[in-house]
């Protein structure tokens, strides 16, 4: 039976992820919250993970209401392998399986390289890149069992050497690379590994923190800013049978924005 709370305007079938279970880091806010909601709205049971349990619990409550789906909240800092391992174990104790891993936890801010402290650079590498490795390594046995799918969340910043973004460029270039390596290493085990690189997405922390002056999207070839919905669609494509023969891809969802020259 279709879930009565599911909005009827989805361009994907409502039950394409029925029986699937997802683990979404960064899933309590921003783009990754939208990704988690899209998975739940299309039949998946979802665990959302980030550092602060109170914020996560509030997000989970809201997401249960907006999707009608099952949302489980577990706190962990992706920088700490022990916390991630415990979070994955809680997820498995709760749902018993894992089919879709979304590595979305990220941190960022604007700074020229000469003003970045050693710790500031390391912090972003640790959250975005090492956090992605930690989480995937802990999830691997369960993804192997389910022949699951990994979706890493990257960014287009590194493709044109975005100024003020040395830390995020270095981290996200590494995330792209891991996505390809895992496709190669684990494809024979039935695991698919892909990456989504969102461009400027309206009403997100990333947008207000990183591109506060770019509110109308006129520089974007497609002529508008992205919406979280655009990233949701890419997520559903890659996570579902629609993407069954797709692995090792970095899917840029940015309206062509990265083709524009770097803005100083």
Residue 117 interacts with ligand HXC (CB under 6 A): yes or no: yes
Residue 111 interacts with ligand HXC (CB under 6 A): yes or no: yes
Residue 169 interacts with ligand HXC (CB under 6 A): yes or no: no
Residue 16 interacts with ligand HXC (CB under 6 A): yes or no: no
- By the 10 Å C-beta count (0-12 exposed, 13-18 middle, 19+ buried), 153 is classed as buried
Q: Which is nearer to ligand HXC, 54 or 117 (CB)?
A: 117
Q: Which is nearer to ligand HXC, 123 or 132 (CB)?
A: 123
- The rounded distance, in Å, linking the Cα atoms of 42 and 98 is 16
Residue 202 interacts with ligand HXC (CB under 6 A): yes or no: no
Minimum Å distance from CB 205 to ligand HXC? 4
Part in contact with ligand HXC (CB under 6 A); list of ranges 9-17, 41-49, 61-69, 109-117 = 109-117
For ligand HXC, which residue of 53, 92, 120, 202 counts as binding (CB under 6 A)?
A: 120
The three-state DSSP-derived secondary structure of 168-202 is HHHHHHHHHHHHHHHHHHHHHHCCEEEEEEECCEC
CB 111 within 8 A of CB 164: yes
Residue 149 CB neighbours (<10 A): 24
- The rounded distance, in Å, linking the Cα atoms of 66 and 56 is 15
The site that binds ligand HXC (CB under 6 A) totals a number of residues, namely 18
Q: Which is nearer to ligand HXC, 149 or 156 (CB)?
A: 156
Q: Is the dihedral of CA 50, 20, 92, 61 positive or negative?
A: positive
Question: Which tokens belong to 67?
Answer: 């999707």
Residue 220 interacts with ligand HXC (CB under 6 A): yes or no: no
Part in contact with ligand HXC (CB under 6 A); list of ranges 85-93, 121-129, 186-194, 234-242 = 121-129
Residue 108 interacts with ligand HXC (CB under 6 A): yes or no: yes
- The rounded distance, in Å, linking the Cα atoms of 132 and 79 is 9
Contacts with ligand HXC, residue ranges (CB under 6 A) = 106-109, 111, 117, 119-120, 123-124, 127, 155, 157, 168, 205-206, 209-210
């Amino acid at each position: 039976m279709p879930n009565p709370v599911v909005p009827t305007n989805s361009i994907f079938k409502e039950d394409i992820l029925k029986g699937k279970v997802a683990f979404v880091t960064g899933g309590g806010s921003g783009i990754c919250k939208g990704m988690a909601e899209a998975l739940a709205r299309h039949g998946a049971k979802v665990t959302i993970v980030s550092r602060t349990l109170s914020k996560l619990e509030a997000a989970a409550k809201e997401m249960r209401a907006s999707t009608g789906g099952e949302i489980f909240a577990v706190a962990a800092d992706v920088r700490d392998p022990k916390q991630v391992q415990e979070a994955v174990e809680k997820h498995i104790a709760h749902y018993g399986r894992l089919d879709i891993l979304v590595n979305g936890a990220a941190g960022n801010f604007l700074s020229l390289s000469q003003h970045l402290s050693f710790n500031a650079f390391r912090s972003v590498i640790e959250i975005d890149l090492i956090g992605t490795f930690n989480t995937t390594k802990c999830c691997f046995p369960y993804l192997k069992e389910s022949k699951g799918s990994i979706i890493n969340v990257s960014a287009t910043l590194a493709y044109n050497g975005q100024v003020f973004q040395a830390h995020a460029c270095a981290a996200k270039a590494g995330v792209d690379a891991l996505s390809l390596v895992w496709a190669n290493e684990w494809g024979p085990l039935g695991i698919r590994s892909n990456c989504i690189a969102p461009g400027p997405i309206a009403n997100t922390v990333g947008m207000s923190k990183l591109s506060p002056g770019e509110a109308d999207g006129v520089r974007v070839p497609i002529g508008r800013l992205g919406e979280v919905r655009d990233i949701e669609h890419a997520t559903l494509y890659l996570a579902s049978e629609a993407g069954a023969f797709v692995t090792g891809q970095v899917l840029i969802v940015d309206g062509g924005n990265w083709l524009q020259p770097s803005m100083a």
